[in-house]
Chains A and B, each alone.
Chain A
Amino acid sequence: MARELVGYKIREARKTAGITQSALAKQVGISPSYLNLIEANRRPIAGKLLNALADELSIDLDSLTGKSEQRLIDDLITMASDPLLNSYALDRGSIEQLVGRSPLWARSALAIFRAYRDQSQAVTALSDRLNQDPFLNDAVHQMLTQITAIRSASEILDSVEDLEADQQKRFHTIISHESNRLSKVAQSLAEFFEKGDQRSVGATPIDEVDDFIIGRGNYFPKLEQSAHNFQQKLEGHGETVEAALMEFLHRRHRISVQYVMPESVDLSFFRNQCTFVEATRTFLILNNSSISTRRFQLARLAAEIEQADIIAEEIDDPNLTTDESRIRAQRAMASYSAGALLFPYERFLSDAENARYDIEILRQRYSASFEQICHRLTTLHAPDARGIPFALLRTNPAGHTTKRFPVAGLMLPQGGRGCPLWAIYTAFQTPGRVTRRLAEFPDGGRFLFIARTVTKQPATFREQQFLYAVMLATDTIHADKTVYADGLDLTTRAIADPVGTSCRLCVRTNCLQREEEAIIKSDG
């Protein structure tokens, strides 16, 4: 829908502003006839020309492209797939109408649904917790045992008339003793429920952080500027970035960096193959970690310390409602800052464009990992220097989504149950090789998928090697700017893989991979 709206929106905005087609065309440097084709949605528009038109018409780019509307539509489609709404047979057309005519009501419906979903999850989680929590199981067992002892002794006192005095005293003592134990168990249960964070049982901190990043367009200009300033400070302080960071950490913050053997430490304390020991101000890194890991983690630590104030400002967001959300967001911002430091914006964008977004070239040039480069490519949204808009998805072999950043027009699966035809899942069949696929969605949207598995090597023999897959996706409008479209005829529909977002949301009834019935009906 987003693309269909752009031309009409430009026309509407131009007319509202009282500007003729000729005048606007002249202002942005195109012919009136070309502008006419754009306004009639017979020519795609993106990049600098779109920016120029938005500027001339003084309208927000997101509202022009319908990005925020598209997100709302995508969210409502996901909502409509909930079993609660099965019987209403909501289709994309009716959802688009609702968003188009009553966006506030559409947002209200979504807010109510999310509240219902969170409460449902909370109830389910509480129920699971009651059934499986070892503390609760043990407490229930103790209570029943103590009540049994009390009941048995009470019945004896009540029913045996010829009980001797010392026997009576004995059973009274049992009742007293077991009542005391029962009281303590009851107290510990009360404390248990008081301490428990009821909201966190149903809360989704990962979703909150995802929404936070998506809401900001995965671009944080203050962090970019701060990283740029920090980079200036590092220059001249070491032959390599790694050396400069180590020198900086030691000189400014009295933090020493040590490389340790994995067999000599407790690996449970190591996250991403490193750990910071506050007591000794030592940053420990496993000596079998890769260069890309060492550089990134050093940059991350430096960013956490050096940019702490700016990071705190960024995550002071009402959409991050729990401590866990804020901690996760803080980590995400530190990672963002590390990326901004190691892959400086302007240079990285220039290199990416020159290399036609060849991830392997960029990876080697910056001594980075595949995932680090993919992530940085999704952050190139500076208004006056934009890269190709990429979506990012990361998943484990079980199909569980562990990182997601969408792009306009492309719905990404949440949690799991995505379309098995996506390149991110087929990449597991050829570990280590880049898989590129052209994909076409039922609504005609076409995207280039670029996926590869990534391996987390074990630190020791006892650990398991861990595989996951990372995928970038971009609209075919931009695909020809990348090496991954070389040899592909982007105009021929026949070579694209017919895919959906998930079986429940896909109307391709004849798909051989279909695992469950669709909830969303086709538009007919």
Chain B
Amino acid sequence: MPVRVLIVEDEPNIVESLSFILKREGCAITTELDGVSGLARLRVERPDVLILDVMLPKLDGFQVLKQIRSDANLAELPILMLTAKGQQKDRQTAEELGVSAFITKPFSNQEVVKLVMELAAPS
């Protein structure tokens, strides 16, 4: 069974590159460009891993993360958060809200693939 990954990121070129490399690893990819659409998609089909950017239009990544963790159906969803800031306080906020893993831009493709596969592995 392919690993199902939902990418919620508003930069189309990053989405395209991430989708390409993850598909090559056998993942099935769906994408959304803003926080509201991302939440709506999650409530319809639950992926194996969520890749979530922090700086999103309509609803930022932290708000999305908070709502996910307060939803009993999604509380255990593995979430990899992307951020361009990498500041300590963002990392701390993400950890307090229950993120599974955190990676800062600019990241390498290999780092993303490694983390996604780790998160998708049965615990």
A residues bordering B, Cβ < 8 Å?
A: 140-141, 144-145, 147-153, 155-156, 159-160, 167, 170-171, 174, 177-178
* A141, A147, A152: the one within 8 Å of B17 (CB): A152
Report B-chain residues with C-beta under 8 Å of the C-beta of A141: 55, 84-85
Report A-chain residues with C-beta under 8 Å of the C-beta of B17: 149, 152-153, 156, 171, 174
**Assuming the A-B contacts A151-B106, A151-B108, are A145 and B84 also in contact, with contact meaning beta carbons closer than 8 angstroms in the complex?**
yes
User: Which of B18-26, B60-68, B93-101 is near enough to bind chain A?
Assistant: B18-26
Smallest CB–CB gap between B90 and chain A, Å? Answer: 11
Point out which of A141, A149, A178 has the most chain B C-beta atoms below 10 A from its C-beta.
A149
A144 pairs with B84, CB closer than 8 A: yes
* B104, closest chain A residue (CB): A144
Q: A145 vs B13: C-alpha distance in the bound complex, in angstroms?
A: 10
B84 pairs with A148, CB closer than 8 A: yes
B73 within 8 A of A: no
A155 pairs with B109, CB closer than 8 A: yes
Q: Name the interface size band of chain B.
A: 10 to 19
Report A-chain residues with C-beta under 8 Å of the C-beta of B55: 141, 145
Q: A453 vs B17: C-alpha distance in the bound complex, in angstroms?
A: 65
**Assuming the A-B contacts A141-B84, A141-B85, A174-B13, are A148 and B107 also in contact, with contact meaning beta carbons closer than 8 angstroms in the complex?**
yes
B residues bordering A, Cβ < 8 Å?
A: 11, 13-14, 16-18, 20-21, 24, 55, 84-85, 105-110
A160 pairs with B14, CB closer than 8 A: no
> What would 11 A/B residue contacts be, using CB atoms closer than 8 Å?
A141-B55, A141-B85, A144-B105, A145-B84, A145-B105, A149-B17, A151-B108, A152-B17, A152-B109, A156-B17, A174-B17
Q: A249 vs B47: C-alpha distance in the bound complex, in angstroms?
A: 75
**Assuming the A-B contacts A149-B13, A174-B16, are A144 and B106 also in contact, with contact meaning beta carbons closer than 8 angstroms in the complex?**
yes
Q: A151 vs B107: C-alpha distance in the bound complex, in angstroms?
A: 8
5 shortest A-B CB distances, which residue pairs?
A152-B17, A144-B84, A148-B105, A148-B106, A149-B13
Smallest CB–CB gap between A436 and chain B, Å? Answer: 50
Report B-chain residues with C-beta under 8 Å of the C-beta of A170: 16
Smallest CB–CB gap between B28 and chain A, Å? Answer: 19
Q: A150 vs B108: C-alpha distance in the bound complex, in angstroms?
A: 10
A152 pairs with B14, CB closer than 8 A: yes
> How many A-B Cβ pairs are below 8 Å?
55
**Assuming the A-B contacts A141-B85, A144-B106, A151-B106, are A156 and B20 also in contact, with contact meaning beta carbons closer than 8 angstroms in the complex?**
yes
B105 pairs with A147, CB closer than 8 A: yes
B106 pairs with A156, CB closer than 8 A: no
Report B-chain residues with C-beta under 8 Å of the C-beta of A144: 84-85, 105-106
Q: A359 vs B82: C-alpha distance in the bound complex, in angstroms?
A: 65
B106 pairs with A178, CB closer than 8 A: no
Q: A140 vs B18: C-alpha distance in the bound complex, in angstroms?
A: 21
**Assuming the A-B contacts A148-B14, A149-B14, A174-B17, are A156 and B107 also in contact, with contact meaning beta carbons closer than 8 angstroms in the complex?**
no
Report B-chain residues with C-beta under 8 Å of the C-beta of A174: 13, 16-17
Q: A171 vs B20: C-alpha distance in the bound complex, in angstroms?
A: 10
B84 pairs with A155, CB closer than 8 A: no
Report B-chain residues with C-beta under 8 Å of the C-beta of A147: 105-106
* A167, closest chain B residue (CB): B20
Q: A463 vs B18: C-alpha distance in the bound complex, in angstroms?
A: 52
Report B-chain residues with C-beta under 8 Å of the C-beta of A150: 106
Smallest CB–CB gap between B65 and chain A, Å? Answer: 18
If A140-B85, A147-B106, A152-B108 are given as contacts, then 4 extra A-B residue pairs at C-beta distance below 8 Å, sorted by A number, are A144-B106, A148-B14, A167-B20, A178-B13
Report A-chain residues with C-beta under 8 Å of the C-beta of B110: 155
A155 pairs with B105, CB closer than 8 A: no
* B82, closest chain A residue (CB): A148
* A140, A145, A148, A156: the one within 8 Å of B21 (CB): A156
Point out which of B11, B17, B55 has the most chain A C-beta atoms below 10 A from its C-beta.
B17
Q: A171 vs B14: C-alpha distance in the bound complex, in angstroms?
A: 11
* B86, closest chain A residue (CB): A144
Q: A174 vs B20: C-alpha distance in the bound complex, in angstroms?
A: 13
**Assuming the A-B contacts A147-B105, A151-B108, A156-B20, are A140 and B13 also in contact, with contact meaning beta carbons closer than 8 angstroms in the complex?**
no
Q: A141 vs B56: C-alpha distance in the bound complex, in angstroms?
A: 12
Smallest CB–CB gap between A323 and chain B, Å? Answer: 35
Report A-chain residues with C-beta under 8 Å of the C-beta of B84: 140-141, 144-145, 148
Report B-chain residues with C-beta under 8 Å of the C-beta of A178: 13
Smallest CB–CB gap between B53 and chain A, Å? Answer: 9
Smallest CB–CB gap between B74 and chain A, Å? Answer: 26
Q: A145 vs B108: C-alpha distance in the bound complex, in angstroms?
A: 12
**Assuming the A-B contacts A141-B84, A156-B17, A174-B16, are A149 and B11 also in contact, with contact meaning beta carbons closer than 8 angstroms in the complex?**
yes
Smallest CB–CB gap between A200 and chain B, Å? Answer: 28
Report B-chain residues with C-beta under 8 Å of the C-beta of A177: 13
Q: A171 vs B107: C-alpha distance in the bound complex, in angstroms?
A: 17
Smallest CB–CB gap between B93 and chain A, Å? Answer: 16
A155 pairs with B108, CB closer than 8 A: yes
Smallest CB–CB gap between B109 and chain A, Å? Answer: 5
